[in-house]
Amino acid sequence: MGVLTPRPRTRTSGTRALQRVFGVLAVTGVCLACAPTALAAPAPPNRPEPEFGLSSSSECVFGGNIIKSTPWSLQRVLLDQLREQATGKGVTVAVIDTGVDDSNDQLRGAMAPGGKDYVGKSKDGTEDVEGHGTRVAGIIAARAIKDTGFAGIAPKAKILSLRYTGAEDKQGDSGTMSAAISDAVAKGAKIINISSDTAKKQDNTKLRNTVAAAVSEGVLIVAASGNDGADGKSENTYPASYPGVLAVAASDRNDERAFFSQAGKFVDIAAPGVGMVSTVPQGGQCTADGTSFAAPYVAGVAALLKEKHPTWTASQITTRLQETAIRPGRGPNRYLGWGVVDPVAALSDESTPGTRPKEDPPVKAGAGEVIPMAVTMGETEAEQERRVAMYVMGTGLLLVFVAGGSGVAVRDWRKKRTRQSR
């Protein structure tokens, strides 16, 4: 296992569509150089890079500014109602990542003893030169402080930092990740968050066996599904695809799959993963995109359930999260799993869950049954291409009409001037 290298960016389908349409318009005589700037080919959308560190789409600066407003990922939740039921107190979540910088005011009181560094010299896992692990930890358990609306979803949970990768001169692999998982179990963590995957999405026997051992001990492992889903193809990632692991996709503000979120039958649930505000090393906050930041959102809600129902097993917590999630159909799909996590619904349901989620029953209406129709999982690449082409073609035709109308007006004006001069 290692750090994935960024892919070179390629032209998007929207850009290709623009180029094709521009070629058609050029034949009709439309002067594209004279067109409004809105006709320029759009910049490719920001895609979270599959690496540990700051993605090119983020605004992260270490020692960053305080973001005063409440982020949308928390606005979607009735926080007062949620906090009345649980805050994560007494629950430890192991964050297996690039380390967690506890110098940030919102994390200083959140760290559990016993952290470890497998690749650097921090000993307790509280050094983070990448910033990835610090952001992950903040989404789970950042403490509420003055002058910001951001806090972790479980603001009184504890974070056990296990730095398996991300040192200045050394990166981790399947060996350091496996060691971190084993240590998390030994130190008593009942929830583990892993916001990374193996290089080239490769299965690994040692990692698989370590995960299986942790699951058999009743530990809930929450893992990011991955950020290579722009093409919509299903592809397994690890450790998210291992049995017993809760695989998390990223959703947007509309509760639809974020375009980059990896799809596949292994996806169990989704959570906000776009424009995610969180903590950064040396203080302050930033925003970033990725399934890396959707997974800790779910891990935080799991911590709330563990506080409220300490005797529940990992499979019961998973079932409750899945059955109460917001979904377009009766059951799961390969984009969102069982749907987008609903923290308040998960905490408010007082029934005891089973160990496997069940599909919603059909809605009865009179003598028949009405089965909810699944909505689209966000715009596909083909749909985007057609939409962009239609926009540009419409604008191009408008320019043709404007140019034609202007030509007629100039011709009539010249004729009028000629008659007046006679």
Q: Are residues 103 and 21 in the same domain?
A: no
Q: Are residues 163 and 303 in the same domain?
A: yes
Q: Are residues 40 and 148 in the same domain?
A: no
In a domain, 282, yes or no: yes
Give the lowest-confidence range in 30-44, 53-67, 328-342.
30-44
The pLDDT of residue 362: 85
Q: Are residues 159 and 297 in the same domain?
A: yes
Percent of the chain beyond pLDDT 70? 72
Q: Are residues 252 and 301 in the same domain?
A: yes
Amino acid in position 54: L
3-state SS, one letter per residue, for 138-202? HHHHCCCCCCCCCCCCCCCCEEEEEECCCCCCCCCCHHHHHHHHHHHHHCCCCEEEECCCCHHHC
Q: Give the tens place of pLDDT for each residue, 90-110.
A: 999 999 999 999 999 999 999
Max CA separation in the chain (angstroms): 102
Q: Are residues 109 and 212 in the same domain?
A: yes
Q: Are residues 220 and 300 in the same domain?
A: yes
Give the mean model confidence (pLDDT) for residues 214-238: 96
Percent of the chain beyond pLDDT 90? 67
pTM, rounded to two decimals: 0.77
- Reply yes or no on whether 309 is catalytic: no
- Reply yes or no on whether 195 is catalytic: no
In a domain, 216, yes or no: yes
The pLDDT of residue 31: 32
In a domain, 50, yes or no: no
Interatomic CA distance for residues 86 and 81, integer angstroms: 9
Q: Give the tens place of pLDDT for each residue, 387-402.
A: 445 555 655 555 545 4
Token representation of residue 196: 């990374």
Q: Which residue is associated with the tokens 């409220």?
A: 308
Q: Are residues 156 and 29 in the same domain?
A: no
The pLDDT of residue 200: 86
Which of these is catalytic: 55, 97, 261, 268?
97
Which of these is catalytic: 132, 173, 255, 289?
132
Give the mean model confidence (pLDDT) for residues 140-159: 98
Amino acid in position 160: L
- CATH number of 111's domain: 3.40.50.200
Contact (Cβ atoms closer than 8 angstroms) between residue 59 and residue 95: no
Q: Are residues 352 and 408 in the same domain?
A: no
Question: What is the number of alpha carbons within 13 Å of residue 366 lying toward its C-beta?
Answer: 1
Q: Are residues 383 and 343 in the same domain?
A: no
Facing residues of 234 across strands?
263
Q: Which of 321, 337, 362 is the last residue of a domain?
A: 362
The pLDDT of residue 197: 92
Q: Which domain holds residue 387?
A: 13-44+379-421
In a domain, 59, yes or no: no
The pLDDT of residue 2: 40
- Reply yes or no on whether 174 is catalytic: no
3-state SS, one letter per residue, for the chain? CCCCCCCCCCCCHHHHHHHHHHHHHHHCCCCHHHCCHHHCCCCCCCCCCCCCCCCCCCCCCCCCCCCCCCCHHHHCCCHHHHHHHCCCCCCEEEEEECCCCCCCCCCCCCECCCCEECCCCCCCCCCCCCCHHHHHHHHHHCCCCCCCCCCCCCCCCEEEEEECCCCCCCCCCHHHHHHHHHHHHHCCCCEEEECCCCHHHCCCHHHHHHHHHHHHCCCEEEEECCCCCCCCCECCCCCCCCCCEEEEEEECCCCCECCCCCECCCCCEEEECCCEEEECCCCCEEEECCCCCCHHHHHHHHHHHHHHCCCCCHHHHHHHHHHCCECCCCCCECCCECCECCHHHHHHCCCCCCCCCCCCCCEEECCEEECCCCCCCCCCHHHHHHHHHHHHHHHHHHHHHHHHHHHHHHHHHHHHHHHHHC
Q: Which of 362, 395, 411 is the last residue of a domain?
A: 362
Cβ atoms < 10 Å from Cβ of 243:
9
pLDDT band at 57 (very low <50, low <70, confident <90, very high): low
Where is pLDDT greater, at 174 or 367?
A: 174
In a domain, 2, yes or no: no
- The yes-or-no verdict on residue 319 having pLDDT over 80 is yes
The pLDDT of residue 232: 84
pLDDT band at 11 (very low <50, low <70, confident <90, very high): very low
Q: Are residues 329 and 354 in the same domain?
A: yes
Give the mean model confidence (pLDDT) for residues 296-318: 99
* Total domains present in the chain: 2
Give the lowest-confidence range in 69-73, 331-335, 376-380.
376-380
Interatomic CA distance for residues 396 and 334, integer angstroms: 38
The pLDDT of residue 227: 96
The pLDDT of residue 58: 60
In a domain, 66, yes or no: no
- The yes-or-no verdict on residue 190 having pLDDT over 70 is yes
In a domain, 367, yes or no: no
- The yes-or-no verdict on residue 136 having pLDDT over 70 is yes
Which of these is catalytic: 225, 241, 278, 292?
292
Q: Which of 333, 362, 391 is the last residue of a domain?
A: 362
pLDDT band at 403 (very low <50, low <70, confident <90, very high): low
Q: Give the tens place of pLDDT for each residue, 73-84.
A: 999 999 999 999
Cβ atoms < 10 Å from Cβ of 209:
12
Q: Are residues 237 and 289 in the same domain?
A: yes
The pLDDT of residue 366: 57
